[in-house]
Amino acid sequence: MSDRFRMMLGQLNPTVGDLAGNAQQARAAWEAGRDAGADLVALPEMFITGYNAQDLWLRKAFQLDVARHVEELALACAEGPALAIGSPWVEGAQLYNAYLILKGGRIASQVLKHHLPNETVFDEVRIFDAGPLGGPYSVGNSRVGSPICEDAWHEDVTETLAETGAEFLLVPNGSPYDRGKFDVRMSHMVSRVVETGLPLVYLNMVGGQDDQVFDGGSFALNPGGALAVQLPVFDAQLAQVDLERGPEGWRVVEGEKATRPSAWEQDYRVMVTGLRDYCRKTGFGKVLLGLSGGVDSAIVAAIAVDALGAENVRCVMLPSEYTSEHSLEDAEAVATALGCRYDYVPISGPRAAVTETLAPHFEGLEAGLAEENIQSRLRGLLLMAMSNKFGEMLLTTGNKSEVAVGYATIYGDMAGGYNPIKDLYKTRVFETCRWRNANHRDWMQGPEGEVMPVRVIDKPPSAELRADQKDSDSLPDYPDLDAMLEILVDRAGSIEDCVAAGFDREVASRVEHLIYISEYKRFQSAPGARLTTGAFWLDRRYPIVNRWRDGKAG
């Protein structure tokens, strides 16, 4: 009986629906494992389809195509190590989230996910059937237990595996990033190791998919919970992990132990990775954005340059008569510091034409919000025209505070295909700008140093749609607003919770009202990088028509 077991872990980046491309990645990983003398090459949950494929998994034609690619992969990887890969699995009328073990040219074993997550971005209860509690599978003379993602968060699955002879655990995951998620994962996995007394290898995928970014960070634990291996977060890589059998059973051999970055760096990398993969996987090579001279568009420009390179980013200043000289100077300074193209497209002419066209219909009515929003919508129109002409995806630049309370113009500054800062509150925008100015990493394609002038960060925020306008004219100051939004949105708290935190009841009620009446705008808004479990899209699902308010009759 062998006293050593070698795994090749594929912490890799699949693309949803790219069955051939994902299978090619799997085969390359298998070949690397074969050359390294691996017993098992392991890939993450649902790797063949990519995660999260949502209702695509339910299509019969898709299921048949998946089966064909898996069978071809099994034949191609017949002579060498076993290959473990996540895939949908159909048995009769039932569809499972499965982990397939390919050996000798066929599907030798399958593990069926038992606990199906049905919260935040996950909707597996609606899509998959729950598999039974099962036992381990054999690879050579060793017995491996593979609780699939959520199954490792529940002790019944790992307990059953241990009782039925599993010698160590391999946990395949499709687990997306949110702030603090890594510590939660580690806590659960340590619990499973302590309960079972078995070593555990946690394997996660990397890369962006719509609003979600999978952060990797795969690791291995020995009995007692001691960390033996820690792979870097966000980086795609193949990693060899060895286990040795001694008098007390299997133990993971000490290996790489990467340092985990700060939360600020991880958030920023999620926004960069999310945009980079969104563009790469949808076929956009270049982007453009309206650069106003404000902090939101400045950080989006920096993210875009770090994701795609300065040569692939176009910044456009679209001034009106309300645009200050400071804004003109600051916008150009940001574009210059980042090294990207800067176009100047004034909107005064088009605005005059629209005003003249509407004058007979608006006669006798006081000028107000409608006239202000004409400016924003003209900018959206001109930016979309440039997007169409040059084949560059338009980025929208609204932060989470604005998205939450509807402080944005639908079909205006909300126009665009992707919003990198959609889940970043305004107060965090300021700090993220400061972090990027002070830090540079090798995964950033932009320049080092101060790429956003301090004046851009420090000046009072303004939409500049009328004379002397400030955001604080319409909203509470951002530190107060963001604190209330964190209670009402991220924690699904109440008006009473806001009052208990020291906020005025009337102000908190108004903020809550703005959140609810802005749902129709968010329903039509661009996707953006998910940083928290309170992100707008799949994490938080509310009706557009909704008369209920906290503390009041509906």
Q: For residue 548, how many other CB atoms are within 10 A of its CB?
A: 9
CB atoms within 10 A of CB 288: 24
Cis previous bond, 399, omega within 30? no
Phi, psi of 29 (to 5 degrees): -65, -40
Residues 6+ apart with CB under 8 A from 141: 1, 2
Asked whether the bond before 52 is cis by omega within 30 degrees of 0, the reply is: yes
| CA-wise closest residue to 107 among 141, 143, 73 | 73
The pair of structure tokens assigned to 445 is 């394609």
> Exactly one of 77, 103, 113, 372 is catalytic; which is it?
113
Distance CA 301, CA 294 (A): 11
Q: Nearest-CA neighbor of 306 among 263, 269, 260? A: 269
286 noted as active-site residue = no
Query: For this structure, is 45 an active site residue?
Result: yes
Give which of 125, 35, 115, 119 is closest to 80, Cα–Cα.
35
Q: Nearest to residue 528, comparing CAs of 296, 261, 341?
A: 296
Active-site entry in 77, 103, 124, 149: 149
Instruction: Tell me whether residue 77 is one of the annotated catalytic residues.
Output: no
Q: Report the alpha-carbon distance of residue 445 to residue 284 in Å, rounded.
A: 17
Nearest to 74 by CA among 61, 87, 60: 87
Annotated catalytic residues are 45, 113, 149
